[in-house]
């Protein structure tokens, strides 16, 4: 009886682990929500890291401007669709 239960539990574990990994890679809703929650839970740490390690004096309030060439901008916009 131990072996069948082990197999059944192993199958469920594999399904849950691989399904959770795939769900977390979804980029439109899940990943941004995870990132937002992580930043909210650790706002002071993230702000300090941005200021001390990356040199962004405004931390989380810093405005970032990206100057991508037109072909890269088009690729980024296509990837969002």
To the nearest whole number, what is the mean pLDDT of the chain? 77
- What is the model's pTM? 0.44
In the prediction, which pLDDT does 5 show? 75
State how far the Cα of 13 lies from the Cα of 29, in Å rounded to an integer: 25
- The Cα 50–Cα 70 span in angstroms is 28
User: Does residue 41 carry a pLDDT above 80?
Assistant: yes
For residue 59, pLDDT beyond 70: yes
pLDDT at position 4, please? 66
Q: Give the chain's domain count.
A: 1
Contact (CB, 8 A) for 50 and 62: yes
φ/ψ (deg, to 5) at 63: -95, 125
- Residue 56's domain comprises 2-80
Q: Report the alpha-carbon distance of residue 79 to residue 81 in Å, rounded.
A: 6
């Amino acid at each position: 009886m131990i072996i069948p239960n082990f197999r059944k539990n192993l199958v469920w574990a594999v399904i849950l682990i691989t399904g959770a990994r795939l769900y977390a890679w979804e980029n439109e809703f899940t990943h941004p929500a995870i990132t937002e929650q992580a930043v909210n839970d650790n706002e002071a740490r993230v702000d300090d890291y941005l200021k001390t390690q990356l040199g962004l004096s405004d931390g989380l309030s810093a405005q970032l401007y990206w100057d991508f060439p037109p072909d890269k901008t088009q690729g980024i916009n296509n990837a969002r669709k």
